[in-house]
Amino acid sequence: MLQFFSKYKSFGIVLFILSAIIISIIYTILKPNRTLQIFEPANVSTELVDSTVQHIRKFHKIKDFSLLNQNGQKVTQEDYKDKIYVADFFFTTCQTICPMMTDHMKKIQDELEDDKEVLLLSHTVIPETDKVPQLKKYAVEKGVDDTKWNLVTGDKKQIYELARKSYLVVKTDGDGGPYDMIHTENFVLVDKEKRIRGFYDGTKMEEIERLLEDIEVLKQSR
């Protein structure tokens, strides 16, 4: 009996290895690649979407923009052409959720420091006080990499419309001004076609980890 097993030992090992390879190949073929949803205004909470675009069910994209960053340089959609990027809304004097959001955006910056395919974009919601010098001061304090992350200011109407009609992340409320807004904690993942592919709570580390994973999924789904 021992001679029988000894004789076929090598054959058994080879058969086991081949079986493992075949099972692995079958699993890979049958397992669907994970993809990310494309978000449209119609499938986002109406609280965060301007009434003029709530009916849109497909082909929604981030509108073109022209704003100034922390260095006083004009930032447009062209600066994000063929890039995946993460966007949010904040203001520099916020003492509630903004510091945590900024720290988490900094983590994303550091994690993807050498990844030229991914950029960051933060919009102030009070541009009347968050002018270029204030944004620069804040950027230096928070360790913002100017080549990776733009903090932008500009016309409040334009920022408001981007928030409500493009990124779908800001509530209208507050002092009743014509372009008043209350920003949320949401980070928005935007693909190279300017489409929204995910929303994440920028105050929660587990959501940041999910965002980083989703960026990798997006990069693989060329």
Please give the Cα distance from 162 to 156 (Å, whole number): 10
pLDDT digits (tens, 9 = 90+) for 13-58: 656 566 556 655 554 444 457 799 999 999 999 888 888 999 999 9
Please report the pLDDT score of residue 183 as a whole number. Answer: 74
Three-state DSSP class for residue 104: helix
Please report the pLDDT score of residue 222 as a whole number. Answer: 62
Q: Are strands 74-76 and 66-68 parallel, antiparallel or unpaired?
A: antiparallel
CATH topology classification for 41-220: Glutaredoxin (3.40.30)
Listing DSSP states for 62-95 in one string gives PPP-EEE-TTS-EEEGGGGTT-EEEEEEE-TT--
pTM: 0.82
pLDDT digits (tens, 9 = 90+) for 205-214: 999 999 999 9
Provide the residue type at 111 as one letter: E
Three-state DSSP class for residue 51: coil
Q: Is the pLDDT of residue 174 over 70?
A: no
Please report the pLDDT score of residue 1 as a whole number. Answer: 52
Please report the pLDDT score of residue 6 as a whole number. Answer: 56
Mean per-residue pLDDT over the chain, rounded? 87
Domain ranges of the chain: 1-31, 41-220
Please report the pLDDT score of residue 31 as a whole number. Answer: 47
Please give the Cα distance from 143 to 103 (Å, whole number): 9
